[in-house]
């Protein structure tokens, strides 16, 4: 361990005095631990809120509903209000100058613009 790294105390020590169980005992080296943790979606599924009484608030019930106002469409490239849509790529644009640029974009850039809006259709 280089002296400056040791003196800056940036590395977390492996053994800590205030813990009853050390990390190395709890998580033995060599196993990939990422998969044992459930993601939020799986946690919520496992919670099984449908079986609980419906009037008690739970994580899902306090989620906000979709917006009541129709969404305004903005140009994907410049950000201004977009009144037109390119039929080939489904990108929104504001004026003919932007349209020319859209037609010159590569596939990869088009997908990234659409991904900004969560509008990418992924075929798997």
Partner 1 sequence: MPPSSSSSFTRPSRQSDYARFSPTTPIVIDNGGSTFRIGWAGESDPRITFRNVVQRPRHKATGDAVTLVGDQDPALMKYFDCTRTSYRSPFDCNVVYQFEIMEYVLDYGFECLGANSEVNHPILMTECICNPLSSRSKMAELLFETYGAPSIAFGVDAIFSYKLNQQYGRCYEDGLTVCSGFSTSHVIPIVQGEPVTKACCRTNIGGFHITDYLKQLLSLKHPQHISNITWEKAEELKMEHCYVAQDFTSELQQFQKGNEDAKEKTRCWQLPWVAPTQGEVPSEEELTRRAALKEKQGQRLRDMAAARRSLRITELENELNGLENLSQQLDEVDEHDVSSILAGTKFYSRQEIESNIIRLTQSLRKAKGEPIEVEEKNDASLLEKYPLASVPDEMLTPEQLKEKKKQIFLKTTSEGRLLAKQKRLEEESIRERQNQLDEEKRLENPELYLEQMHARYRELCERVEQRKKPKTNGNHNLLGGVGRGERLTAAQKERMRLLTSAAFDRGKGEDTFGARDEDWQLYKLMSKDNDDDDNSLDEEEAELARVTCRLQDIDPNFVPRSDLVPIPGGTTEFQKFRPQTAEDFQIILDVERFKCPEVLFQPNMIGIDQAGLDEMAGISLRRLPSVDDSLKAEMSKSVLVTGGCALLPGLLPRLEAGIRQLRPYLSPLKVVRASDPVLDAWRGASRYANSPHFTLQTISIQDYYEKGESLLRQYQMKYTI
Residue 16: CA atoms inside 13 Å, Cβ hemisphere, count? Answer: 10
Q: Which of 28, 53, 65, 96 binds partner 1 (CB under 8 A)?
A: 65
Task: Name the CA dihedral angle for 99, 104, 108, 111, rounded to a multiple of 10 degrees.
Answer: 10
9 is a site residue for partner 1 (CB under 8 A): yes
Residue with tokens 């943790």: 37
1 is a site residue for partner 1 (CB under 8 A): yes
Cα 85 to Cα 109: distance, rounded to the nearest angstrom: 17
The region, left, alpha or beta by phi > 0 then psi within -120 to 50, assigned to residue 38 is beta
94 is a site residue for partner 1 (CB under 8 A): yes
Cα 92 to Cα 102: distance, rounded to the nearest angstrom: 9
Q: Which of 28, 53, 57, 96 binds partner 1 (CB under 8 A)?
A: 57
Tokens of 111: 């997908």
Interaction pattern, residues 14-43, with partner 1; x per rule: CB under 8 A = --xxxxxx-x--xx-----x---xxxx--x
Q: How far is the CB of 45 from partner 1 (least distance, A)?
A: 10
Which residues in this chain contact partner 1 in the complex, by CB under 8 A?
1-2, 4-5, 8-13, 16-21, 23, 26-27, 33, 37-40, 43-44, 46-47, 55, 57-59, 61-69, 71-72, 74, 78-81, 88, 94, 107, 109, 112-113, 115-119, 121, 123
């Amino acid at each position: 361990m280089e002296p400056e790294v040791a003196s800056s105390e940036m590395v977390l020590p492996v053994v800590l005095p205030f813990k009853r169980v050390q990390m190395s005992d709890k998580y033995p080296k060599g196993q990939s631990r990422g998969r044992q943790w459930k993601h939020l979606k799986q946690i919520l599924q496992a919670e099984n809120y449908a079986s609980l009484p419906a009037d008690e608030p739970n994580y899902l019930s306090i989620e906000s509903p979709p917006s009541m106002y129709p969404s305004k469409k903005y140009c994907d490239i410049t950000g201004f209000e977009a009144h037109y849509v390119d039929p080939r790529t489904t990108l929104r644009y504001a004026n003919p100058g932007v349209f020319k640029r859209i037609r010159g974009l590569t596939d990869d850039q088009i997908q990234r613009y659409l991904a900004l809006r969560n509008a990418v259709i992924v075929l798997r």
